[in-house]
C-alpha cells in the first residue's frame, strides 16, 4: 500500500515521502499513530500543493537575499570605539553589533549567526566581513573602525 509519511520514521522514510508499506503495517501502526496517510488522489494533490508552496517560498527568499546582497556591497558600517595607544580596541566589534547596526541604520535584517566572523574585530581600520544570506548567496560588507 502506498502511503505519504507525515514525519520521519527510522527505517521507513522521511517526512512527505511516498513509500510502499505493508497493508497491515499501514492500517495497524502508521494510520492509528497518525504517522502516515493513504496516498490517494486528495492527499497526493495536497502534497503537490505543499511542495509547490515550499518551492515558491524558497525562490522568493533567494530573490530577496540577492537584492540584499546588492545593497550590502555599497554599505560601509562605521563604528566609533575606544582604543589604546597601539591601535588595539578595548573590547571589539561583534557579529551582534554588526547585525544591530545594519538593522538600525539601513533597515536590513541579518541574523547574527549568518555573519561569518571568526573572532571579534579588534583593530582600527577597514575590515571586510562575509555574510551568508541564503543557500548559495554570499555578501560582503565593509566595517570601518575609528577611535572615539
3-class DSSP assignment, residue 2? strand
pLDDT of amino acid 102: 92
**Do 81 and 148 meet the contact criterion of CB atoms below 8 Å apart?**
yes
pLDDT of amino acid 85: 77
Supply angle C-alpha 145, 146, 148, rounded to 5.
135
Structure-block grid coordinates of residue 89: 580596541
The pair phi, psi for residue 59, each rounded to 5°, is -65, -40
**Which pairing describes strands 76-81 and 137-147: parallel, antiparallel, or unpaired?**
parallel
pLDDT of amino acid 84: 78
DSSP-assigned states of every residue in 45-56: HHHHHHHHHHHH
The tens-digit pLDDT sequence of the chain (148 residues) is 999 999 999 999 999 999 999 999 999 999 999 999 999 999 999 999 999 999 999 999 999 999 999 999 899 999 998 887 776 778 888 999 999 999 999 999 999 999 999 888 888 889 999 999 988 899 999 999 888 7
Q: Which domains does the chain have, with CATH numbers?
A: 2-62 (3.40.5.10), 64-147 (3.10.430.100)
Alpha-helical runs (H) found in 33-88: 41-73
Cα 31 from Cα 145, distance rounded (Å): 60
Amino acid at each position: 500500500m502506498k502511503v505519504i509519511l507525515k514525519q520521519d520514521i527510522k527505517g521507513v522514510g522521511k517526512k512527505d515521502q511516498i513509500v510502499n508499506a505493508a497493508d497491515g503495517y499501514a492500517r495497524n501502526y502508521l494510520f492509528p499513530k497518525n504517522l502516515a496517510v493513504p496516498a490517494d488522489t486528495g492527499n497526493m494533490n495536497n502534497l503537490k500543493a505543499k511542495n509547490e508552496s515550499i518551492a515558491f517560498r524558497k525562490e522568493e527568499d533567494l530573490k530577496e537575499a540577492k537584492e540584499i546582497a546588492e545593497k550590502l556591497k555599497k554599505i560601509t558600517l562605521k563604528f566609533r570605539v575606544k582604543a589604546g595607544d597601539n591601535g588595539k580596541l578595548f573590547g571589539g566589534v561583534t557579529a551582534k553589533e554588526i547585525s544591530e547596526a545594519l538593522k538600525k541604520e539601513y533597515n536590513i535584517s541579518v541574523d547574527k549567526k549568518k555573519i561569518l566572523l571568526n573572532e571579534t574585530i579588534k583593530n582600527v581600520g577597514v575590515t571586510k566581513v562575509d555574510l551568508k544570506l541564503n543557500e548559495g548567496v554570499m555578501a560582503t560588507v565593509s566595517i570601518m573602525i575609528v577611535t572615539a
